[in-house]
């Protein structure tokens, strides 16, 4: 029996738990703000607190793998535990790894994050397509096979991204538009939502010149500390706003280590997103 597609699982999680993704980003400065040491013990305490507080509340967790990798194998062990415990609590896990390579190396990344036999098996992973969209094929195929998802970097919120993403190709389209078009083709006919999504920054203003209707989820970083608010979402995403998954990290995490503070902050952001999106047609 084929696993249920990620897009269907994500749609249900967003409807039931609220359209919100909470990043798990254990910056050294954030550990210090929580009164924790910048070491593996502090990392483990921070991560466990977030997962235990929010694992039965939020739709999606997005651990940033770099903040765990910096502690080597012991940091990765903390990440493995967090992924497993988050999924046990019913939250989906989107691994923010931004991997991109070619051939067998891309296949190895797919095995790491999208193979159920891996200790880092996640519901979805972020990917960088800037070795060519086709280079992602091993991960795209693994995602479909295993009921997982991917989020392809398309229009990111960092200013430096524009020199690549908004570069104009020989056919007159931008690179970002080409990535969105690929995803739209991949997701054609999927219901209620495709499993292959795009990363599109919530801080970018009016994006009506881009076709964001890819029939897949749109991960929207930038809410909270980066300056965007849930009220900005309809302007940025237009008719595609119903498929937006806003991502908040510091806006929620700064309310820790108190579990009640974390839960209240996440609930507030989710409610603000619901209000902003309203009855958007999906």
Q: Whole domain around residue 215: which residue ranges? A: 6-276
Report the pLDDT value the prediction gives residue 24, as an integer from 0 to 100.
98
In 3D, which of 157, 149, 273, 143 has the Cα closest to residue 216? 149
Catalytic one of 98, 250, 268, 282: 98
Residue 231 placed within a domain: yes
* Assigned token pair, 224: 């909270």
Q: Rounded to 5 degrees, what are φ and ψ at 59?
A: -75, -40
Domain count, the chain: 1
Please state the three-class secondary structure of 241-265 as a single string: HHHEEEEECHHHHCCCCCHHHHHHH
Q: 62 catalytic, yes or no?
A: no
Pairing of strands 60-63, 92-99: parallel
Tens digit of pLDDT for each residue in 66-111? 999 999 999 999 999 999 999 999 999 999 999 999 999 999 999 9
CATH classification at residue 39 = 3.20.20.70
Would you call 186 exposed, middle or buried from its count of C-beta atoms within 10 A (0-12, 13-18, 19+)? buried
Q: Report yes or no on 1 lying in a domain.
A: no
**25 lies in a domain?**
yes
Distances in whole angstroms, Cα of residue 31 to Cα of each of 14, 40, 47: 29, 11, 10
Residue 114 inside a domain? The answer is yes
The verdict on residue 282 lying in a domain is no
Answer whether residue 92 is part of any domain: yes
Q: What is the C-alpha separation between 267 and 244, in angstroms, rounded?
A: 17
Average pLDDT over residues 241-247: 96
Whether residue 55 lies inside any domain: the answer is yes
Q: Which tens digits make up the pLDDT trace of 108-146? A: 999 999 999 999 999 999 999 999 999 999 999 999 999
State the pTM of this model.
0.96
């Amino acid at each position: 029996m084929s696993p249920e597609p990620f897009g269907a699982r994500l749609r249900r999680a967003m409807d039931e738990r609220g359209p919100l993704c909470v990043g798990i980003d254990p910056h050294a400065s954030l550990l210090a703000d929580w009164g924790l040491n910048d070491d593996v013990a502090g990392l483990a305490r921070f991560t466990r607190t977030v997962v235990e507080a929010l694992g039965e509340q939020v739709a999606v967790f997005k651990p940033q793998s770099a903040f765990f990798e910096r502690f080597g194998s012991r940091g990765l062990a903390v990440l493995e535990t967090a992924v497993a415990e988050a999924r046990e609590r019913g939250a989906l896990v989107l691994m923010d790894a931004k991997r991109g390579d070619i051939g067998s190396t891309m296949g190895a990344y797919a095995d790491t994050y999208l193979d159920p036999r891996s200790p880092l098996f996640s519901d979805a992973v972020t990917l960088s397509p800037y070795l060519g969209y086709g280079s992602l094929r091993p991960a795209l195929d693994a995602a479909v096979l295993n009921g997982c998802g991917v989020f392809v970097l398309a229009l990111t919120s960092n200013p430096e991204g524009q020199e690549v993403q908004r570069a104009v190709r020989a056919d007159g389209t931008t690179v970002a538009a080409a990535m969105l078009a690929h995803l739209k083709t991949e997701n054609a006919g999927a219901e209620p939502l495709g499993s292959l999504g795009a990363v599109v920054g919530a801080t970018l203003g009016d994006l009506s010149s881009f076709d964001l209707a890819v029939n897949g989820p749109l991960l929207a970083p930038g809410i909270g500390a980066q300056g965007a608010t849930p009220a900005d979402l309809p302007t940025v995403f237009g008719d595609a706003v119903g498929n937006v998954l806003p991502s908040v990290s510091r806006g929620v995490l700064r309310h820790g280590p108190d579990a009640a503070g974390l839960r209240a902050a996440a609930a507030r952001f989710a409610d603000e997103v619901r209000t902003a999106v309203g009855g958007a047609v999906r």
